[in-house]
Structure 1
């Protein structure tokens, strides 16, 4: 089989990654124990081989071009996998190491994932975790994410989907709103109330509320003068302020319900939930840091799986 890379090319790729990370040929040279001229020659060889300019150079700094950034992300991942494969074969890697990049919806990040991270890094201190709080769907290849958490199964069959938990839904309102407008005692009564709406980021459509009616899960359309988009925490803030009634995840409002800031409504129609799914690309060699994080989340959040179904 023909070799596409020789030792010099692999060394040039390593120097390129160091220069990209340190933002300087001189800093990369110092880190690698070579001269700045050697780094410059290595980068020039790469650019000539690829036919692509990797850096924009000025007298004061260097920065990656758009093509250079794409190349860097792929090279860094490839070098990390080579290092992990070598350590795994030689038995040197006894613990995960490297960087994890994960995309998480805003509320799930604040209330579920972020509180767990200190526990994870206490177990695996050599793993750095980069969390992007966003409700949009991400492109794993283009944006170099290791994994994402979403509230539904992916349409992309190239992704592995692993359910983390079923998050229970609850209907809530502030005492000040209920004092002003009365407390609904039946689902039909919601038509006379201010029901705070949320637009789903992926479709722009308002999310119907979910209830259990005669043992069956049913979507119920509601209306109101308030609509939030982008961040579901907005509807909770409005509810706390006495603006109206909101349906949200119980994990978001547990403290509010405990201290009386919010009141649970129509509990006889509760017990519904929606799933949260961990997504990550198929890979022949899944990195140890990714495997460890997947197993950690499954262990920590698996106790909430099952419940009322999805």
Structure 2
């Protein structure tokens, strides 16, 4: 009787190539060459009798069958990891594994580093692959274990655990306000240089959120300068005196304490936006991924 699972090495190659995003990245991770990995995936596809990947000179993409197989393969490897930890007992109970996470620039630069520092101290054998981008990645197709996202989440079938409601502040540089004067009302903002951010998902400027007399007010800022792709750009521009922006308290708190920025329309503060961890409900999460989700949700 032949071995039933002598192809597991090829399965591991397939999972690694997807997670690394290319044959070259997979080859570096597995200390081999792209041609070796390409042959391994071809063997796996021949064994299954179905195409898992579309391969061109520039990119790789999964077929529908490839996405389904990736999910099951990752779940199987997670089961093997858990089984090994279970039989090793207390002496081998040190948590190990890799976690791939995607976060937006706001969280990746200002909130997550301190959280990850505490997590890595608690779990020194866990490895993190961190993508800091404002692009909403496809968790399944791109091989991410989890992501942190901003705002109310659409009904996408993903599971979400809220991290926090992040308070918002309207700010400007002191020398900007000295030059043009400070607005007294929301309506006065129309006469100022506002610095709106264009949301990648809609192509529209993100509204500024205010609370006035216990009433929520959403106001869409005009602007001669509109920032695309990286929302942190509005803060940099505001700090250099180019106008007024709305951003998160955790981003500008130090700048305000240092006098580099000041609050504008403080009477209209009180709104926030939520940040959440998301992950696929049908994926069997590794112990390391579950530990990171629980840690961030508790720490957030």
Q: Where does residue 20 of structure 2 map in the other structure?
A: none
TM-score relative to the length of structure 1? 0.78
Structure 1 contact 54–65 (Cα < 8 Å) conserved: no
TM alignment of 1:122-137, pairs within 5 A? 122-137=121-136
| RMSD of aligned alpha carbons | 3.4
TM alignment of 1:138-217, pairs within 5 A? 138-217=137-216
Q: What is the aligned counterpart of 1:11 among 6, 15, 18? A: 6
Higher alpha-carbon Rg:
1
Q: Where does residue 219 of structure 2 map in the other structure?
A: 220
Q: Where does residue 83 of structure 1 map in the other structure?
A: 80
Alpha carbons of structure 1 residues 67 and 252: separation in structure 2 relative to 1, 3 Å = closer
TM alignment of 1:1-310, pairs within 5 A? 8-14=3-9, 17=12, 23=27, 46-51=44-49, 77-87=74-84, 89-90=86-87, 92=89, 94-283=93-282, 285-301=284-300
SS in structure 2 of the partner of residue 85 of structure 1? helix
SS in structure 2 of the partner of residue 229 of structure 1? coil
Give the structure, 1 or 2, with the largest relative contact order (CA under 8 Å, sep 6 or more): 2
User: CA-to-partner distance for each residue in 1:31-66, whole Å, 9 max, x for gaps?
Assistant: xxxxxxxx99987864531346899xxxxxxxx976
Structure 2 contact 196–227 (Cα < 8 Å) conserved: yes
Structure 1 contact 153–161 (Cα < 8 Å) conserved: no
Unpaired runs of at least 5, structure 2? 18-25, 54-58
Structure 2 contact 170–246 (Cα < 8 Å) conserved: yes
Unpaired runs of at least 5, structure 1? 1-5, 29-38, 56-63, 302-310
Structure 2 contact 97–127 (Cα < 8 Å) conserved: yes
TM-score relative to the length of structure 2? 0.81
Structure 2 contact 10–43 (Cα < 8 Å) conserved: no
- TM-aligned CA deviation for residue 91 of structure 1: 5.6
